[in-house]
Amino acid sequence: MFTLYASIQLPLLHFQWFSIPSSTYAAAPSTFLLHAINDYSSGGPLPVLNRATSNINWYVIALIIAATISILLLLILFLRIAWIIGMSRKYPHTYKEDINFITTDLPRAPFSFLNSLFWRNTIPLEAESGRLIFRHELTHIKQKHTYDKLACQLLTCIVWFNPFYWLIQKELGMIHEFIADENAINENDTEAFAKMLLQTHNNGRYLVPELQFFSSPIKRRLIMLQTSPKTSHAILRRMMVLPLAACAVIIFSFSPLKEKKNIEKANRKIVLVLDPGHGGNDAGATYETMIEKDINLEIANHIKALSPGYNIETHLTRGDDETLSLEERVAASNKLKPDDFISIHVSDDSSAATDNGNFDIAICFENPRVDQSKELGWAVYQHLNAQGGIQKKTLTEKRAYVLRNNNAPAILIEFGDIKNKQQMQWITDDAKLDELCSAVLEGVVESHKQ
């Protein structure tokens, strides 16, 4: 039982073990199921972002199939429990030694469930074999083996795709039989109990909640009857569990700790204006529960929170969900006379759903400081590219009003396609969003190097 539930709990524990130099580590987007991070070196091939992001969400389909099978298995288990409850009401019962003794003509009896013992009327309770079987089933009831079995079966129904859960369920049933056999026999009746075991048996079935007397492989039970628990290596065998458990914790609970990059600050204070696109009455692009205006503001706030570490003073054209005209955005920027201006958006280009990346950086050739805009755009491009964010090889030219009429070097960044679930997961994953926003700030610092 510990093995079963520890296997569920251990992966939920997270310990940081060792560091990996940041120069050899670049995290790519996390997957939706396990949030596992794949590694790509900055000089290697860029990851394919959209190959699996079509209208068919295979992860959701796989999840639905797995959930359907789990529901069916749970239904089978509950139906069998209902059958047992129905049988307990069908046959006469009496109470013996605080147990509900039910006399039946069921071929699968005797078996126990919770505090009920279903007895087959063809087995004489007064005979030696009957007394042994009764003590055997009484042990199951007193040690509450049904609860163990139900807990194991419920977990197996949910995590049915793991074959080890089925094997452990089978072994748990065998251990229950060993314990009951040990308590059923006395010093001199091992032979009688062995003869009684050989009368009849079946091979057992999965997801059977009751504890049947004739349900386990006979050979193993006979061997256990003759095996002494006081062997010379018993303590050593138990101690071997400790290093095995330690290895399991290390493998499943420890994760490499990414070494924090040394932040290269700007030599002087850089004033940066961030313009979260849309807002208020203008929602921008929408898809399912995602709204562009909210995504843009989230990215801008994240960049602003990180900017002091780069010696960058950041201002936002809007700090909440308010409606601003393009003229108001440009006027607010020009009033501050910033060193740089960045407009933040996400795209809504369904035609590019199968392209390798929809991150885009745009400049406007009509900007009065177009050369500095190009330098800023290329610097941000290089750092975002190192994070696997951009697949395009050139900057885009857009005659956007906020770029064209801005007195500062200005660029527009589209942080992925709102319909690309994998890319939007980058925004909702704090660790990945940190990397993307840090890349933008690193690009700003890079563009101002002399």
- Tokens 């079966």 belong to 153
The amino acid at residue 21 is P
Distance CA 254, CA 157 (A): 28
β-sheet bridge partners, residue 396: 362
State CA 30 to chain mean position distance.
Answer: 11
Q: Which residue ranges of the chain lie beneath pLDDT 70?
A: 10-57, 97, 186-234, 237-238, 241, 245, 248-261, 350-358, 388-393, 450
CATH superfamily of 270-447: Zn-dependent exopeptidases (3.40.630.40)
- For residue 90, what pLDDT is reported? 85
- For residue 296, what pLDDT is reported? 94
Q: What is the mean pLDDT of the chain?
A: 77
The answer to whether 257 touches 22, Cβ cutoff 8 Å, is no
Distance CA 171, CA 148 (A): 12
Tokens linked to 22: 């940041």
Residue 331 parent element (H or E)? helix 326-336
Per residue in 187-239, pLDDT tens? 555 666 666 665 544 433 444 555 554 455 656 666 666 565 555 566 776 67
- For residue 347, what pLDDT is reported? 87
What is the DSSP annotation of 351-417? Answer: GGTTSS---EEEE-TTSTTHHHHHHHHHHHHHHHHHTT----SSPEE---HHHHT-SS-EEEEEEEE
Distance CA 421, CA 281 (A): 25
State CA 384 to chain mean position distance.
Answer: 27
Per residue in 298-328, pLDDT tens? 999 999 999 999 999 999 999 999 999 999 9
Tokens linked to 74: 């749970």
Distance CA 259, CA 19 (A): 5
Helices marked H in 57-199:
58-90, 128-142, 145-158, 163-184, 190-197
Distance CA 174, CA 182 (A): 12
CA angle 41, 350, 392 (to 5 degrees): 35
- Sign for the pseudo-dihedral over CA of 348, 350, 351, 356: positive
What is the DSSP annotation of 254-294? Answer: EEEEEPPP-----SS-EEEEEEE--BTTB--SEETTEEHHH
> At 312, is the secondary structure helix, strand, or coil?
strand
Distance CA 429, CA 211 (A): 47
**Range list for CATH 3.40.630.40 in the chain:** 270-447
- For residue 272, what pLDDT is reported? 96
User: Is omega for the bond preceding 163 within 30 degrees of 0, making it cis?
Assistant: no
Residue 306 parent element (H or E)? helix 292-306
- For residue 342, what pLDDT is reported? 97
Distance CA 112, CA 138 (A): 8
- CA nearest 396: which of 373, 421, 427, 368? 373
- For residue 350, what pLDDT is reported? 54
- Sign for the pseudo-dihedral over CA of 153, 155, 161, 164: negative
